Amino acid sequence: MASSTSSVPSSSSSTSLYNPSPTFSGTSTFSSSFQQVLTKAVQEASLPMQEMQNDVNSLTSQQSALTQIESSFQTLSSDVQSISSNASGTPASSVSDPTAISATTTSSALPGTYSIQVDTMGSYSTAMSAAGSPAITDPSSQNISSASSYTLAVDGTDTTITPVGSSLEDLASAINSSSAGVQATIVNVGPNNAMDYRLVITSTSLAADSIQLSAGSTPLLSTVSTGAPATYSVNGSSTVLQTNSPTVTLSPGVTVNLLATSTQPVTVTVTQDYSALQSALSQFATDYNSAVTAVDGQIGLNAGPLSGDSIVYTMSNVLQSMAQYASGSGSLSTLNDLGLSLSDTGTMSFDASTFSALNMSDLAQFFGSATTGGFIQAATNALSSVDDTNTGDLATEYNTLQTQITQQNQEISDEQARIGDMESNLESQLSQADAAIATLQSQKTYYADLFQAEFPSTSTT
Amino acid sequence: MIPPYLEQLEEQVRCAAASRQYEEIGRLAAAFAESVRAYTQTLPAGDARAGDAMRRLVDLLSWSLVMVQGGRAACSAELRRVRTANRYSRRDGPPARTAGINLDA
């Protein structure tokens, strides 16, 4: 508790009526209330900041809601792109005899029916090292030659082989690492009690390739089998085709793998598959409903922080314009014709059976593309008007909110500084006033007492 | 009556008190008191001017004290004005949410 004090020198040895100049110090009786007043004043002055902070929180909530809605719209845009890329279907193939061939297709494959008859599967040329003397029982330490460098001749092309070690395993590894186009393996041709490891080199093409490995001028291999190309005929042609690879290009985008010979032509059927489009449409319906839910959350009672913002209605209109798209021509004119229907509550659903029953050749006209019109262009334009990351309404609104938040935060910062300055200034003023009051009180008491002592018959104020 | 130099010192004390120069008031008042003390010591015993000078001193201290207390009250009133001031009108909008402000008050 503050109190009024004074420090007045005690009487000196001097008999003079007046002592040397007294000094005064201490705090006034007002000090206790002073700090309370000051604290309250600063707290009250901070109320506008509370209001501004509330504004910032509100703006941040709006930003958060915008981000959430933007996400659902971007998902919808992605769905539209997926519909666009799958609108014409994707080529798919089937074969009549999967044991004879397998087929793969790419996007460039044309729908149609092909036939292929595999006459011979062909074979690979193989050569094997001669028996060692003694036989190699440990290929990790022994080798068929003590040479440090070898020459591998494949169909007349020489390749120098330099193993990193001296073992047979090192030699095989070096061959496989080379670009000679052969495969080296180590095979045991002896019984379990008398291992006899040999180096076997097999060509990688179906052809009568000659294979020889030499250490200096010494040949190390002998031919085990001479390869031959595979033969087949296509679409009933009498022309027999040869191939050095089991993989054959049947048509642009259509590749078959020869698995076995066939006594009858094997049929390869390439069709357009619309299952991906079906999935994309189904996903579109799901994500459309999510977007509607997100937007509806900002409308009506218990609406979110974007309640009343015009962008809510902009987004709602975009969704409606997509759902109610009408082409105006063609056998397919609305999303409902595709199996995408709206319930009376605005929920979109996808009927796969309706979609499956469509004449898929009509899809291209309905969907169009992002540049040539149709549903894809209409939906793309509508969605990009709101979710474009640079010019979309959502981005614009988001940036506007961000600007307001930045301004509000700056105002809060300025207000904090102002209140701080005010506090310091008032503290200083009142402290000085208290000190002056304490000094004057002490002086007055001291001199009043002195006056009374000297002039007892006279009163002071 | 007091000498002119004492009247001049008294005037300085009154100016400091009137203009709320709180740090100056104590120093000037002490200087005035010291001057009055020195002045009375120069007077013969029983001289009535000593009593007049002392009365002027005590009166000045009383008056200064009132002035400073008034200034202090004005300062407190300024704080109260800040407390009650509503410089920012509340905006229409959603209910206020709890905010976190580090006021360091």
Tell me how close the Cα of B7 comes to any Cα of chain A, in angstroms. 18
Question: What pLDDT score was predicted for residue A456?
Answer: 74
Counting Cβ atoms within 10 Å, is residue B67 exposed (0-12), middle (13-18) or buried (19+)? Answer: buried
Write the residue in B30, B64, B79 that is nearest to A426 by C-beta. B79
The letter for the amino acid at A327 is S
Write the residue in A440, A455, A461 that is nearest to B64 by C-beta. A440
Three-state DSSP state, A322: helix
CB A395 within 8 Å of CB A402:
no
Does residue B32 lie within any of the structural domains? yes
Does residue B105 lie within any of the structural domains? no
Tell me how close the Cα of A74 comes to any Cα of chain B, in angstroms. 28
Does residue B90 lie within any of the structural domains? no
Contacts of B101 in chain A (CB under 8 A): 46, 49-50, 53, 412, 416
Does residue B89 lie within any of the structural domains? no
The reply to whether residue B20 touches residue A433, judged by beta carbons under 8 angstroms, is: yes
The reply to whether residue A38 touches residue B65, judged by beta carbons under 8 angstroms, is: no
Calpha distance A112→A92 (Å, rounded) = 10
Calpha distance A451→A459 (Å, rounded) = 8
Which spans in A225-323 are helix H? 275-296, 310-323
Question: What pLDDT score was predicted for residue A295?
Answer: 93
Identify the residue among A434, A439, A459 best suited for mutation to test binding to B, counting B beta carbons within 10 A and taking the highest: A439
Find all residues with CB under 8 Å of A281, minimum gap 6, and list them: A83, A338, A339, A340, A350, A355
Three-state DSSP state, A137: coil
pTM beyond 0.90, yes or no: no
The reply to whether residue B22 touches residue A447, judged by beta carbons under 8 angstroms, is: no
The reply to whether residue A24 touches residue B83, judged by beta carbons under 8 angstroms, is: no
Question: What pLDDT score was predicted for residue A446?
Answer: 92
Per-residue pLDDT of chain A (461 residues; tens, 9 = 90+): 333 333 333 333 333 333 333 333 444 444 445 556 556 655 665 566 778 888 889 999 999 999 999 999 999 999 999 999 998 888 999 999 999 999 999 988 988 999 999 999 999 999 999 887 778 999 999 999 999 999 999 988 999 999 999 999 999 999 999 999 899 999 999 998 889 999 999 999 999 999 999 999 999 999 999 999 999 999 888 899 999 999 999 999 999 999 999 999 999 999 989 999 999 999 999 999 999 999 999 998 888 999 888 999 999 999 999 999 998 777 888 999 999 999 998 899 999 999 999 888 888 889 988 888 899 999 999 999 998 988 999 999 999 999 999 998 888 888 777 766 776 787 788 889 989 999 999 999 999 898 888 877 655 54
Identify the closest residue of chain A to B77 by CA–CA distance: A37
Calpha distance A424→A439 (Å, rounded) = 22
Give every strand in the sheet of A254-258, ordered side by side. A101-105, A254-258, A247-251
The reply to whether residue A448 touches residue B58, judged by beta carbons under 8 angstroms, is: yes
Model confidence at B98: pLDDT above 60: no
Contacts of A17 in chain B (CB under 8 A): 40-41
Name the percent of chain A in helix, strand, coil, to the closest 5: 40, 20, 35
- Please tell me what DSSP assigns to residue A81: H
> What's the total number of domains in chain B?
1
Calpha distance A256→A247 (Å, rounded) = 6
CA distances from A387 to A65, A70, A311, A397, B40 (A): 14, 6, 11, 11, 92
Write the residue in A41, A454, A460 that is nearest to B82 by C-beta. A41
- Please tell me what DSSP assigns to residue A233: E
Tell me how close the Cα of A296 comes to any Cα of chain B, in angstroms. 18
Write the residue in B58, B83, B101 that is nearest to A447 by C-beta. B58
What would you measure as the largest C-alpha separation in chain B, in angstroms?
83
Closest CA to A450 of B6, B33, B88: B33
The reply to whether residue B29 touches residue A460, judged by beta carbons under 8 angstroms, is: no
CA distances from A259 to A88, A123, A226, A246, A297 (A): 31, 12, 20, 8, 59
Question: What pLDDT score was predicted for residue A44?
Answer: 60
Does residue B41 lie within any of the structural domains? yes
Name the percent of chain B in helix, strand, coil, to the closest 5: 70, 0, 30
Calpha distance A79→A65 (Å, rounded) = 21
Task: Estimate the crossing angle of helix A47-86 against helix A275-296, to 10 degrees.
Answer: 160
The domain of B51 spans 4-78
Peptide bond into A134 cis (omega under 30): yes
Question: What pLDDT score was predicted for residue A415?
Answer: 76
Does residue B103 lie within any of the structural domains? no
Q: Are strands A124-129 and A197-206 parallel, antiparallel or unpaired?
A: antiparallel
Identify the closest residue of chain B to A43 by CA–CA distance: B105
Does residue B102 lie within any of the structural domains? no
Main-chain dihedrals φ then ψ at residue A207, nearest 5 degrees: -165, 165
CB A129 within 8 Å of CB A136:
no
Question: What pLDDT score was predicted for residue A29?
Answer: 47
What does the buried/exposed string (b/e) look like for A86-120 if buried means 16 or more CB atoms within 10 Å of the residue's CB?
bbbbbbbbebebeebbebebeeebeeeebbbbbee
Question: What pLDDT score was predicted for residue B81?
Answer: 63
